[in-house]
Amino acid sequence: MAAELTGNILVAQSGGPTAVINASLAGVISEALNHECIEEVYGGLNGIQGILNEDLIDLAGESQQAIRGLRYTPASALGTCRFKLRREADYQRILEVFHAHNIRYFFYIGGNDSQDTANQISKMAQASGWEMRVIGIPKTVDNDLVRTDHTPGYGSIIKHVATTVKELACDADAMADHDLVHVVEVMGRSAGWVAAGSALAKRRDHPHDAPHIILLPEVAFDPNKFLDDVTNVLKRQRYCMVVVGEGLVDAEGNYITTAAGATDNFGHSQLGGIGDYLKELVDGHIDGVKTRSSRLGHTQRAAATHASQTDNNEAFMAGQAAVEAALDGVTDKMVTLMRGETDYYSCETGLTDLEEVANGVKHLPPQWINEDGISMSYQFVKYATPLIQGEVQVPYEHGLPAFVHLAKIPVEKHLRPHRWE
């Protein structure tokens, strides 16, 4: 085991939030406070941008009630960003912040782009001779990180999506007479894990339950087949429930819908609107049918009251494991979740190289998609069902969830303001 480094911890959150990303933050803080070699526990506000601005807060100064409350509070308590480091001056600034605050342990909670950022920062520190340890903590509702069985955030989003589908199905069944199509648009840029999770809404031995059609980025969209599938469902069912991932593509791999020319800081196309597109397609080609389109949007990743306790526990465990690994001398790794090989579900943490995760995409296995291309196999249901088990106990005040807010005690700045160009 490598010698302990005495110094301070810096943890930050990046990318789109989840219902359990703060549970990972709570895991980092709780574990860090147990070790004497860690002198201070700092949080970077708004991801890497906060570090560039030297906007740090004292997490050790937060109340224990607030730290515990992170376990049931959605979104990123530290704030987040989508920012790609490109300039040498930015890397040098980060190193200056590390020096100024004696940062010896850096933890970045995020998805594949964030793991790439963590890897680049670690390489920069090593090249400069600054001794520190960098560990990535996985986070993404999309469940598309490679080298991990699943990611914190995924179990909670599919619990929420499947619950919403069941509720909307009750509504549709009450209103329809073989003449209603309801399209539900969910997240999923490059992989269909979220849309696939809606299949959990089906009861066992009730194959005709909603959703009736699941459209995935892994299956090229054919509008004629889609219209035929909808027509066939309406012949036998009072309504047709369609769940579609926002990243649906055609046979050439082009997104069906995008915001014209709009991209984020990592160059990803801005998606959205596929639900409305499908609604218009049905309206224009199937007579006598009422259509609805619901885009769940950000409610999917913020639905703490539908969060999975299993997901919450594993997110917390990932934060703890990151600190333990760094104190053992490990660096340049991301924490992974590994499923046990027994008949009952179990999960433990592992580690994988940051370089292996950075910018990769994990797609749904083809064998988990039925031959019809619009439904999920038993293998997927067996994979996903354990991830949604248990309910997070959220306290209520005056009938509404009582989420926590960090005090965000600022750490004194030592450097001149960062120059943005």
Burial class (CB in 10 A: 0-12, 13-18, 19+), 392: buried
Task: Give 13's strand partners.
Answer: 109
**In Å, how far from its chain's centre is CA 118?**
17
Look up residue 161 and give its amino acid: V
Chain-centre distance for alpha carbon 103:
27
Identify whether 229 is a catalytic site residue: no
Are 133 and 352 in contact by the 8 Å Cβ rule? The answer is no
Chain position carrying tokens 């480094």: 5
> For residue 181, what are its two tokens?
């199509």
**386 upstream amide cis, omega within 30 of 0:** no
At 18, give phi and psi (nearest 5°).
-135, 175
Distance from C-alpha of 309 to C-alpha of 330, rounded to nearest angstrom: 29
Q: Closest Cα partner for 315 from 198, 160, 157, 81?
A: 157
DSSP secondary structure letter of residue 352: E
Q: Which of 90, 113, 116, 142 is catalytic?
A: 142
Tokens (6 digits) for 208: 């005709």
Closest CA to 84 of 127, 111, 61, 116: 116
Backbone angles phi, psi at 308, to 5 degrees: -85, 130
Distance CA 292, CA 275 (A): 9
Q: Which residues contact 388 (CB under 8 A, 6 or more apart)?
A: 155, 156, 158, 159, 162, 197, 200, 308, 310, 311
Q: Which residues are known to be catalytic? A: 142
